[in-house]
């Protein structure tokens, strides 16, 4: 088929006028040269339309990323990746900042393929940012630190590795050398402590983000959440709101002893939390 599509325009015109097709195209399921060229032309035109009018399509695509089926979300991410690669970097950078927040809920999808694709897309968006958008992007990616930290414990190796690469990209954007060092040396057990030490002002936010992971379907992810929560004596934190939330979290966990998922977590919690 490739050789047929590469025939000269004069040969294609001759075939069209004569109404004949090469022998190779008479097989069932093979389109004619004219049909193939029309299809290719349509795809090129469609691709160009997406690139020219990305701002028009973007709200609809973001809505699909929020409410669509998982298979459709994956297709949208592939399309977005292709389109962004064809945009001028200044334009792609602005769109990248808008998209980042939409990807975070996909990190916890039940579909491992969607988890991986969304995390890889997140890393790709970091690479598109130009200096004028760096401040906005740094603010957005702060919310991805905890989810990516926990996804490094994902039972799907490709998801865990994609999460590590994404965290490395975030550390480079934030110019956070200690985090980069730990990731490159694979000293993963120190990452949670590093995160809390670096961003004490965000402790309450990190704790709030951690709570849903205590009910994650994957045991290793739940354990990662417990370890992170218990890294600091939060119940004696200087901030009243943090102390209160930590106390509520402890009560919440200890009040659910009959849930099979929570038994392992409770054992770890009782050992680690004073």
Boundaries of every domain in the chain:
1-52, 65-201
Confidence check: pLDDT of 154 > 60: yes
Most confident of 1-5, 206-210, 246-250: 206-210
The reported pLDDT for the residue numbered 230 is: 76
The reported pLDDT for the residue numbered 11 is: 40
The reported pLDDT for the residue numbered 229 is: 81
* Mean pLDDT, range 247-258, rounded to an integer: 54
Reported as a pLDDT band with limits 50, 70 and 90, residue 216 is: very high
Q: In whole angstroms, what is the distance from residue 102 CA to residue 18 CA?
A: 53
The reported pLDDT for the residue numbered 10 is: 41
Give the long-range contacts of residues 239-242, CB within 8 A, separation 24 or more: 239/203, 239/204, 241/204, 242/203, 242/204, 242/207
Q: What is the pTM of this model?
A: 0.69
Assigned CATH topology for domain 65-201: 1.25.10
The reported pLDDT for the residue numbered 262 is: 40
- Percent of the chain whose pLDDT exceeds 90: 35
Q: Counting Cβ atoms within 10 Å, is residue 215 exposed (0-12), middle (13-18) or buried (19+)?
A: middle
From 10-14, 200-204, 208-212, the region with the lowest mean pLDDT: 10-14
The reported pLDDT for the residue numbered 24 is: 40
Pair 37, 11: CB distance under 8 Å: no
Pair 223, 264: CB distance under 8 Å: yes
Confidence check: pLDDT of 241 > 80: no
Place of tokens 């060092």: 181
* Tens-digit pLDDT profile for residues 63-74: 889 998 898 899
Confidence check: pLDDT of 45 > 50: no
The reported pLDDT for the residue numbered 162 is: 97
Confidence check: pLDDT of 3 > 70: no
* Tens-digit pLDDT profile for residues 57-113: 788 888 889 998 898 899 888 888 888 888 888 889 999 999 999 999 999 999 999
The reported pLDDT for the residue numbered 259 is: 43
Q: In whole angstroms, what is the distance from residue 170 CA to residue 122 CA?
A: 10
Pair 93, 132: CB distance under 8 Å: yes
Reported as a pLDDT band with limits 50, 70 and 90, residue 115 is: very high
| Cα distances (angstroms) measured from residue 184 to each of 41, 97, 148, 166, 167 | 46, 26, 15, 12, 11
């Amino acid at each position: 088929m490739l050789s047929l599509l590469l025939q000269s325009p004069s040969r294609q015109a001759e075939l069209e006028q004569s109404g004949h097709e090469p022998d190779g195209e008479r097989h069932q399921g093979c389109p004619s040269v004219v049909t193939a060229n029309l299809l290719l032309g349509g795809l090129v035109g469609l691709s160009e339309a997406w690139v020219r009018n990305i701002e028009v399509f973007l709200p609809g695509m973001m809505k699909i990323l929020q409410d669509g089926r998982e298979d459709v979300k994956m297709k949208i991410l592939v399309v977005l990746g292709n389109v962004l690669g064809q945009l001028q970097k200044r334009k792609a950078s602005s769109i990248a900042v808008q998209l980042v927040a939409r990807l975070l809920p996909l990190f916890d999808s039940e579909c491992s393929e969607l988890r991986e694709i969304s995390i890889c897309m997140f890393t790709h968006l970091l690479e598109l940012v130009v200096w004028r958008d760096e401040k906005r992007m740094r603010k957005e990616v702060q919310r991805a630190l905890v989810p990516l930290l926990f996804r490094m414990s994902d039972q799907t190796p490709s998801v865990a590795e994609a999460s590590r690469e994404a965290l490395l990209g975030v550390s480079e954007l934030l110019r956070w050398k200690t985090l980069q060092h730990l990731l490159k040396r694979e000293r993963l057990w120190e990452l949670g402590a590093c995160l809390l030490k670096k961003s004490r002002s965000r402790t309450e936010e990190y704790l709030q983000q951690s709570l849903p992971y205590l009910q994650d379907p994957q045991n290793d992810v739940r354990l990662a959440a417990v370890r992170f929560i218990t890294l600091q004596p939060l119940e004696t934190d200087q901030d009243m709101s943090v102390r209160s939330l930590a106390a509520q979290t402890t009560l919440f966990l200890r009040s659910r002893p009959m849930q099979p998922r929570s038994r392992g977590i409770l054992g770890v919690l009782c050992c680690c939390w004073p």
